[in-house]
Chains A and B, each alone.
Chain A
């Protein structure tokens, strides 16, 4: 006899306590939250105005007054890194949301509607065949070098991979029996998508999201570093490192410290994503094997 008991979305949360048994999730989340809080509390935690320029102390080494040293305009690298966190997290978060949203949309459509699948997948393949950094550079050049445009560009770059992941999940879920059962009782496609497929896709969406968040932060940093992202006086982590590039030999702290902070943030995100995936995976298999 076929077990048609539907596991709905919320039954998942009963196991929430178990989540924190996973070390990686805890540590990852803790790291990210720590850095996020630090940047949100930037006005409190920073020691100087991040935009205040004092040419007389330019390129000074880290000291008690300037924890991470100063850059070539005499700005405090520590305070800029704190504020930079806001922008970098904002970038990562926005890219994650936007590409997640459109990726999910496209993935759902492609996975569910066979006829559109072919076209959508070919287009996405086309985009994915572009080296991501070149695509990002070209898009930023078209739109102009502002943070909002960088976010748009990066979202476009990462949408295809989201879509791919969602689509493959959709393909799996579509074949499950309770979906077939719903179809047989005449549920509309839309209802199937929203009530069955989507809730079961959340897991991979979130996992993928965390990876995209991480990669967006790095790609934004790389773009700024190459000089094609945000203007270098805007303190994203990549922007700060980019401004330090000509002074690499005399003031390596400008590149070093924001780099370490970015690495820690991204590390936390990846760690969290890994743990989440490990946690959710058996559950996902559970759905399939019904």
Chain B
């Protein structure tokens, strides 16, 4: 009797929980549905979706949106009518010569003419089938917002852009207003206003949406990240989280525009001598540090010198620097031994050449900055308040921030921060990060599992963003041990099935890619040189190479970190493949600090895993340098790299790089498995600017919906 009831109890509870599990499990693998297949990843995707949800803008019958298509003037008339909820107006006589009363858009065009939104051309035409130009869009949106009064007060532009002089005077006030932070209804095209160019559907959608839902200052933006930053000293750290957030606190002389090219940030202007060995930088004036002091050349010289001593990038540059001095309070000069593209180094978003106050540098020397507001002082739009380890980093808006006047252009141009507080919340658990955004605890989370993509894509409150992150790699110990032999390394490479490795670790094929390239597709250095060595899947060849190398079954010590599951998953799959070829592999799992320590000792390991960010320039790639653990010493590679450093012509550099990449695959100092993407998620309440060339996220020119 007692027995029965006990068993009943156990069985019942197990059944209930199984039921629950199956319900949860049943939801996995649902294919994502999204409104427009061709807006995924588009910079205006959020606004397009929101505008379309309001019924104002629609896609085409085939389900696409065509965000880059042009907009006819008649079409924008209909959009305006819908936005402003005007009644159609169909007077018996048309006001426009070229708009007949039976024109499909007649009622719309007349309505907006009556409302004063669009008045047509001086010659009495409307040109309904003409495309709306960006200048026209500015005017229309300005009128939509009722900014005629403000516009009349503007005589000169307050903004700058590369083509500011090409803006027609009739549209100039509205263009100016459109780029001001409180209105923000216009976006640039890589620093150009392009007033005579046709506006795209995406730009129109964005403009209409923001014109009617203006940006709001205030609130707290909560961003959930993976780990504690170990330091916020962006000059030293090679970790992404501190570097990314650090760039909201500190600024650099140069930064990246929408195309990934360096443009001035703290520098006002600069010139390069004819022999390309002397750079003279004129700094912007009136830039305040968070402690109220003005930034001068002394601060810049001290900061860049420190960066040159402590960061790998910096050391690379400074090995060619002959002198770096302040000429006067706002001018600095760098004289090089050989020509080098200095702005590219100074713009880097990793191992950042941040500008600190000279007093701070004098005080801390080469020791990393500590987490106190006395040491973390920059010129950026956010100010450091506190760091509570494992909990959060708190930044608040710096009221005396001096933004640039040029239109937002990637990370360059005017940087406006709308939320009062930027709270970086540390949430190590991937699932909890995602759940936090789903349940509105956080506004943003990085590094979400690709396996959740399906569910997240269809959540109406969440926007996803997939960005190329890095290439996954294993590094051989080339100083000591079994992989000093090139044949061994080639054997290893031959046995690998890259596709299986990547698929096993990352799953969803949207989130990883294959290919021998070490530079990203968006750079001019993208090449498939070396492809015959990549993804050979050739166990037989591996076996014969092993035999040639004289491998006798010595165990290979593979170091993996317990903190990064993606990497050791790759290792697990690769291990099976390699063992088929006859390798004997011993996986050693350790935590991150132990890994760092062990890696410095060449007697303790043969291979370890890591991943490498995609950089903007091949000379930044760590794996092919002699100092990175792995100790790759190759005179040929060193020669290629130094040629690249001094060469500024892109075509020549491409040729050199192709040779270098081929050498990489023949010599195999490291393995590349494939590319992995990183999934970020935002709540749809986070609106604003979203065009960065680099793979990390920034919160400039973004605001929380009111």
Residues of A within 8 A of B (CB): 23, 27, 51, 53, 55-56, 58-59, 61-62, 69, 72-74, 141, 144-145, 227-228, 231-233, 243, 245-253, 256, 260
Interface string of B444-481 (1 = CB under 8 A from A): 00000101100100000000000000000000000000
Contact partners of A56 in chain B: CB under 8 A: 503
B507 at the interface (CB under 8 A from A): yes
B552 at the interface (CB under 8 A from A): no
Q: What is the distance, in angstroms, from A185's C-beta to the closest C-beta of chain B?
A: 49
Complex alpha-carbon distance, A276 and B435, angstroms: 45
Q: What is the distance, in angstroms, from B500's C-beta to the closest C-beta of chain A?
A: 6
> Main SS of chain B's interface residues?
helix
Known: A231-B562, A248-B431. A59 touches B21 (CB 8 A): no
Residues of B within 8 A of A (CB): 2-3, 6, 14, 17-18, 21-22, 24-29, 429-431, 434-435, 449, 451-452, 455, 500, 503-504, 507, 562-563, 565, 568-569, 572-573, 576, 587, 589-591, 594
Known: A55-B500, A73-B569. A245 touches B431 (CB 8 A): yes
Additional A-B contact list (10), CB under 8 Å, known A72-B507, A247-B431: A53-B572, A61-B25, A62-B25, A145-B589, A246-B429, A249-B24, A250-B28, A250-B455, A251-B25, A252-B25
Name the residue of chain A whose CB is nearest to the CB of B562. Answer: A227
Name the residue of chain B whose CB is nearest to the CB of A233. Answer: B572
Q: Which of B26, B434, B563 contacts A61 (CB 8 A)?
A: B26
The answer to whether B504 touches A27, judged by C-beta atoms less than 8 angstroms apart, is no
The answer to whether B28 touches A61, judged by C-beta atoms less than 8 angstroms apart, is yes
6 contacts between A and B (CB under 8 A): A55-B573, A231-B562, A245-B429, A249-B24, A250-B455, A252-B25
Name the residue of chain A whose CB is nearest to the CB of B499. Answer: A55
The answer to whether A231 touches B589, judged by C-beta atoms less than 8 angstroms apart, is yes
Q: What is the distance, in angstroms, from A238's C-beta to the closest C-beta of chain B?
A: 13
Contact partners of A249 in chain B: CB under 8 A: 24, 431, 434-435, 452, 455
Complex alpha-carbon distance, A23 and B14, angstroms: 21
The answer to whether A253 touches B568, judged by C-beta atoms less than 8 angstroms apart, is no
Q: What is the distance, in angstroms, from A14's C-beta to the closest C-beta of chain B?
A: 26
Contact partners of A247 in chain B: CB under 8 A: 431, 449, 451
Q: What is the distance, in angstroms, from B429's C-beta to the closest C-beta of chain A?
A: 7
The answer to whether A227 touches B451, judged by C-beta atoms less than 8 angstroms apart, is no
Known: A141-B591, A245-B431, A260-B14. A58 touches B504 (CB 8 A): yes
Contact partners of A251 in chain B: CB under 8 A: 25, 28, 451
Known: A59-B451, A260-B17. A23 touches B25 (CB 8 A): no
Complex alpha-carbon distance, A200 and B194, angstroms: 94
The answer to whether B22 touches A59, judged by C-beta atoms less than 8 angstroms apart, is no
Contact partners of A23 in chain B: CB under 8 A: 2-3
Q: Which of B17, B565, B569, B591 contacts A228 (CB 8 A)?
A: B591
Complex alpha-carbon distance, A27 and B451, angstroms: 41
Q: What is the distance, in angstroms, from B122's C-beta to the closest C-beta of chain A?
A: 61
The answer to whether B451 touches A256, judged by C-beta atoms less than 8 angstroms apart, is no
Quick one: which of A69, A243, A250 has the most chain B CB within 10 A?
A250
Contact partners of B6 in chain A: CB under 8 A: 27
Contact partners of B504 in chain A: CB under 8 A: 53, 55, 58, 72-74
Complex alpha-carbon distance, A62 and B20, angstroms: 13
Contact partners of A253 in chain B: CB under 8 A: 21, 25
Name the residue of chain B whose CB is nearest to the CB of A257. Answer: B21
Complex alpha-carbon distance, A136 and B526, angstroms: 49
Q: What is the distance, in angstroms, from B537's C-beta to the closest C-beta of chain A?
A: 14
Contact partners of A260 in chain B: CB under 8 A: 14, 17
Complex alpha-carbon distance, A145 and B572, angstroms: 17
Complex alpha-carbon distance, A23 and B563, angstroms: 46
Contact partners of A141 in chain B: CB under 8 A: 591, 594
Contact partners of B434 in chain A: CB under 8 A: 249
The answer to whether A250 touches B451, judged by C-beta atoms less than 8 angstroms apart, is yes
Contact partners of A73 in chain B: CB under 8 A: 504, 569, 572-573
Complex alpha-carbon distance, A250 and B572, angstroms: 22
Complex alpha-carbon distance, A74 and B18, angstroms: 21
Complex alpha-carbon distance, A260 and B6, angstroms: 16
Q: Which of B25, B435, B503, B576 contacts A69 (CB 8 A)?
A: B25
The answer to whether A55 touches B591, judged by C-beta atoms less than 8 angstroms apart, is no
Complex alpha-carbon distance, A55 and B451, angstroms: 13
Contact partners of A250 in chain B: CB under 8 A: 27-29, 449, 451-452, 455
Complex alpha-carbon distance, A250 and B434, angstroms: 12
Q: What is the distance, in angstroms, from A26's C-beta to the closest C-beta of chain B?
A: 9
Name the residue of chain A whose CB is nearest to the CB of B587. Answer: A231
Known: A59-B507, A145-B562. A53 touches B576 (CB 8 A): yes
Contact partners of B3 in chain A: CB under 8 A: 23, 27
CB-CB nearest 4 A-B residue pairs: A55-B504, A55-B503, A231-B589, A61-B25
Q: What is the distance, in angstroms, from B595's C-beta to the closest C-beta of chain A?
A: 12
Complex alpha-carbon distance, A206 and B541, angstroms: 58
The answer to whether B569 touches A252, judged by C-beta atoms less than 8 angstroms apart, is no
Contact partners of B587 in chain A: CB under 8 A: 231, 233
Complex alpha-carbon distance, A289 and B430, angstroms: 60
Contact partners of A27 in chain B: CB under 8 A: 3, 6
Contact partners of B26 in chain A: CB under 8 A: 61
Q: Which of B2, B21, B435, B572 contacts A252 (CB 8 A)?
A: B21
Complex alpha-carbon distance, A248 and B503, angstroms: 19
Contact partners of B569 in chain A: CB under 8 A: 72-73
Complex alpha-carbon distance, A62 and B590, angstroms: 32
Complex alpha-carbon distance, A231 and B14, angstroms: 29
Name the residue of chain B whose CB is nearest to the CB of A231. Answer: B589
Complex alpha-carbon distance, A115 and B430, angstroms: 54
Complex alpha-carbon distance, A74 and B2, angstroms: 42
Contact partners of A69 in chain B: CB under 8 A: 25
Name the residue of chain B whose CB is nearest to the CB of A246. Answer: B430
The answer to whether A61 touches B449, judged by C-beta atoms less than 8 angstroms apart, is no
Complex alpha-carbon distance, A251 and B28, angstroms: 7
Complex alpha-carbon distance, A62 and B24, angstroms: 12
Complex alpha-carbon distance, A112 and B404, angstroms: 82
Q: What is the distance, in angstroms, from B29's C-beta to the closest C-beta of chain A?
A: 8
Contact partners of A58 in chain B: CB under 8 A: 504, 507
Quick one: which of A56, A73, A249 has the most chain B CB within 10 A?
A249
Contact partners of B18 in chain A: CB under 8 A: 256
Complex alpha-carbon distance, A55 and B497, angstroms: 12
Contact partners of A61 in chain B: CB under 8 A: 22, 25-26, 28-29
Complex alpha-carbon distance, A263 and B452, angstroms: 28
